[in-house]
Amino acid sequence: MSSPVLHAFYVGRALADAINERAERLLTDGLSLVGKFDAEQREYFRQFTEDVMARAQQAEAEAGVTYSGTAPAVADTDLQATIDTLRAEIAQVRVALQQYRTTSQV
User: 48-79, pLDDT tens digit by residue?
Assistant: 999 999 999 888 888 877 665 555 554 556 88
Full-model pTM: 0.44
Taking the C-alpha atoms of residue 17 and residue 24, their distance in angstroms, rounded to an integer, is 10
pLDDT of residue 16: 96
